[in-house]
Amino acid sequence: MKKIFTLAVAALISVAAFAQPQVIAHRGYHAIKGSCRNSIEALKQAQKMGLYGSECDINLTKDGVIVVAHGGLHPDKIYRKGEDIPRLNIQKSTYEELTAIPLENGETIPTLEQYLEQMKKSKKTKLIIEVKNHYTPEKETEIVQKTVEMVAKYGLNDMVEYIAFRPWVCFELKRLAPEGTPIAYLNGDYDPTYVKGMGISGIDYKYDVLKKKPKWIKSCQKRGLTVNVWTVDDEDKLRWVIEQGVDYITTDNPVLATKLIKEMCK
């Protein structure tokens, strides 16, 4: 009888062994009709799902407007086959030039201000802002300063977190954002000890990096750093990162991620 009880307890412990990670929609929840990556609708859908976070990418235009767009080109991909659609370099184009090319769902390329306006309508889902690489440190400082000031203006300091590939951007965010603002490093080349020394809050590394170096997950957490992993979409990979006890999962498939977390983290 005692043996049966011990086995039952062990089974319960194994079911509840995984800490519950939070789900972040990669470029918003776009895998739904009427939505597309980095659109206002993608942010709305992430808010509607009640996710922990909705990630977005920001670039500074030639005329100083912060737009929500991934990569250096707009549109991010050619989505209307057979049409000769120009692709503009975002950082070398004006906002007016960019708005002439609609997003896949028909929206105009959004500004960060428009994103923050939508953020004010729901105080549950956080905005995870990735500050993209720019041509010079001066431009990166400019976009960081403008972003931090804009977030403060909208009263959303507690609803915004930051991620970046460049150490310089991380340091500028740490210098200019309110003390305690979460800032995570994306590039995947620094070990936990080094990231801790950067004085930021955590890592946000690609799945392949953490798969090769899974010990970094617990090593970060022991140092008080958070661990986010991107971009994890299929079931096997999602199960692995949940089992590893990461803090956040950035995914294009938040529905499946949420389902598996509920199943595995009872």
Q: Per residue of the chain (266 residues), what is the pLDDT tens digit?
A: 444 444 444 444 444 457 899 999 999 999 999 999 999 999 999 999 999 999 999 999 999 999 999 989 999 877 666 677 789 999 999 999 999 999 999 999 999 999 999 999 998 999 999 999 999 999 999 999 999 999 999 999 999 999 999 999 999 999 999 999 999 999 999 999 999 999 999 999 999 999 999 999 999 999 999 999 999 999 999 999 999 999 999 999 999 999 999 999 98
pLDDT of 106 reads 95
Task: Report d(CA 92, CA 240) in Å as an integer.
Answer: 41
pLDDT at 10: 46
pLDDT at residue number 4: 45
Q: Residue 82: its pLDDT value, please? A: 63
pLDDT of residue 186: 98
- This prediction has a pTM of 0.92
pLDDT of residue 11: 44
Query: E strand or H helix at 247, and its extent?
Result: none
- Compute the distance between CA of residue 177 and CA of residue 234 in angstroms, rounded to an integer: 35
**pLDDT score, position 9:** 45
CA-based nearest residue to 238, from 23, 41, 82: 23
- The pLDDT, as a whole number, for residue 6 is 46
Give the whole-angstrom CA distance, residue 116 versus residue 63.
20
State the Cα–Cα distance between residues 94 and 55, nearest whole angstrom: 24
Q: Please check whether residue 173 is in contact with residue 148, taking contact to mean a CB–CB distance below 8 angstroms.
A: yes
Question: Under a CB-based contact definition with an 8 Å cutoff, are residues 40 and 27 in contact?
Answer: no
pLDDT at 81: 64
Q: How far apart are CA 8 and CA 47, in angstroms?
A: 39
**What distance in Å separates the CA atoms of residue 148 and residue 168, rounded to the nearest whole number?**
15
Give Dmax over CA atoms of the chain in angstroms.
Answer: 75
Q: How far apart are CA 95 and CA 144, in angstroms?
A: 18
Query: Residue 79's pLDDT is what?
Result: 66
Q: What is the pLDDT of residue 5?
A: 44
